[in-house]
Amino acid sequence: MSRKLLASILIVIVVGALMIAPVAAQGRTVVTWFVGLGTGTNEQQIEIQNQVVADFNASQDEIELVINLAASNQVAADTLSTLIAGGTPPDIVGPVGFSGANAFSGQWLDLQPLVDAAGYDLSQYPESLVGLYQTPEGLLGIPFAVFPSLMFYNADLFDEADLNYPPAEFGAPYVMPDGTEVPWNWDTVAEIAKILAVDANGNDATMDEFDRTAVEQFGFAHQWGSMRADFSTFGGANFYDAETGQVTIPENWRANAEWTWNALWNEGFMPNSTYENSTLFAPTLFASGRTAMARVPLWYTCCIGDLDAAWDIAVVPAYGDGSYAPTDADTFRILESTANPEAAFTVLQYLQGEAALDLVTVYGAFPALPDIQEESIAIKAEQFPSVQNWDIIVPSLAFAVAPNHESDFPNFNRGQQRFADFRTLLYGDTGATINLQEELDKLQADLQAIVDEAN
């Protein structure tokens, strides 16, 4: 090869490399914000997030905020793992809940030194919420958004069945069709859900003719539930004792499993996996307009979609002497591997401050910051005019389950997968014939083996 040709090739390579050089050549510190581990990947959210990024970049000239969106929530954890393993981790991750964060346990930056250095005022948040993020590794997050579990109900379906709506106040009774007042608890939910579950022939689940293989409307569903969240509707539990290392599935969780199995396979007012994946219940169970009640955290308002029915929210039912509202809590976290912690914290303050209202609105969240809660509710009321009971959100926070249903434990990822496998077993076709108590014992034994592996 001639020297001229070799030189030409080298010049082409160098010019090409310069053309694809990063924008950092302009002098700003680049901070990457990864979205998708929690919510944040639907079209409307992407639009708002991009606007937040553009507004931040326009407001100052020291930091270039770049957003990195996962293709979907389903692949977000994989994507983030790949970025970390590949040596190109983002700086900020969020919004992310405890479950998503625990999947990357040990990799979050302690924010306390940054809070102290910046003089950030944590007292503007309720102390209990700040406490959620105080861990042995330090302050790993600042409260941003909370999502208490609520009972979403389809008012039109209740009207059709001539039933009263669920109560909008903790401790208030439910009024049955015959006028009798009964406690608003999971037994009552089962009773009215049977009336609301209807098959293709118009029979409801209280009738002998009810055909469980041809249901067209269900009475209740744990919309997008996880097993620990479903269990926690009957009360929280430290299933893993950190002191003794023992795993125990408590009696209240077993009671919840029994109630669920009965609803799925005996009474038939809850949809199993086959129905959940059926086109009849697209896009989601409640949003299809064919499920009368759904227990789901507040973030579900992000995804109600085009539900063409009047709907509202009610308080979660009681179990025993208490009411238990499994509560999700999302925030933004900074990875320990960040090369620019101060710049990342500056961005974090912006997301938690000036951008907070826009973001919580599009995430369907309730802001942890009391100052913007009223405005947030006003925006929601405008978005969803059929909903009257927004004032149950704050009281529901008081019934947040402790410990949180996404709390960490050894070998968290494998343990969560085991809980997911149990839920699949319960809701899947084999659920009808399983020996529930045996499967719960097996779950306990498997979880014990999983935590022992890590200890």
368 touches 352 (CB < 8 A):
no
Nearest-approach distance from CB 358 to another protein, in angstroms: 30
Contact pattern from residue 328 through residue 357 relative to another protein, giving x for each residue in contact according to CB under 8 A and a dash for the rest: ---------x--------------------
Residue 326 or 367 with smaller CB distance to another protein: 326
Q: What are the two backbone dihedrals, phi and then psi, of residue 7, each rounded to the nearest 5 degrees?
A: -60, -40
- C-alpha angle with apex 191: 188 to 193, nearest 5 degrees? 105
Residue 146: half-sphere exposure toward Cβ, Cα within 13 Å: 30
Nearest-approach distance from CB 435 to another protein, in angstroms: 16
64 touches 31 (CB < 8 A):
yes
Give me the residues paired with residue 294 across strands.
152, 221
By CB under 8 A, the residues from 426 to 455 that bind another protein are: 427-430
- Burial (CB < 10 A; 0-12, 13-18, 19+), residue 377, is middle
182 secondary structure, DSSP code = E
Q: Could you tell me the two tokens for 421?
A: 């496998």
Number of residues that bind another protein (CB under 8 A): 36
Distances in Å between the alpha carbon of 450 and those of 54, 102, 278, 446?
A: 45, 16, 34, 6
> How far is residue 183 CA from its own chain's centroid?
28
Residue 3 or 27 with smaller CB distance to another protein: 3
Residue 81 or 386 with smaller CB distance to another protein: 81
- Asked if 42 touches another protein (CB under 8 A), the answer is no
By CB under 8 A, the residues from 89 to 118 that bind another protein are: 103-104, 106-107
By CB under 8 A, the residues from 181 to 200 that bind another protein are: none
Helix (H), strand (E) at residue 66: strand 63-69
- Asked if 201 touches another protein (CB under 8 A), the answer is no
Q: Could you tell me the two tokens for 174?
A: 């439910």
Contact pattern from residue 56 through residue 85 relative to another protein, giving x for each residue in contact according to CB under 8 A and a dash for the rest: ------------------x--xx--xx-xx
Q: Which of 277, 383, 386, 437 binds another protein (CB under 8 A)?
A: 277
Single-letter amino acid code for the residue at 443: L
Nearest-approach distance from CB 256 to another protein, in angstroms: 18
Stretch that binds another protein, among 30-38, 47-55, 273-281, 285-293 (CB under 8 A): 273-281
Sign of CA dihedral 108, 110, 111, 114: negative
Residue 1 or 20 with smaller CB distance to another protein: 1
* Radius of gyration, alpha carbons of the chain: 25
Residue 3 or 136 with smaller CB distance to another protein: 3
The contact set with another protein (CB under 8 A) reads: 1, 74, 77-78, 81-82, 84-85, 103-104, 106-107, 213-215, 273-280, 337, 413-414, 417, 420-421, 423-425, 427-430
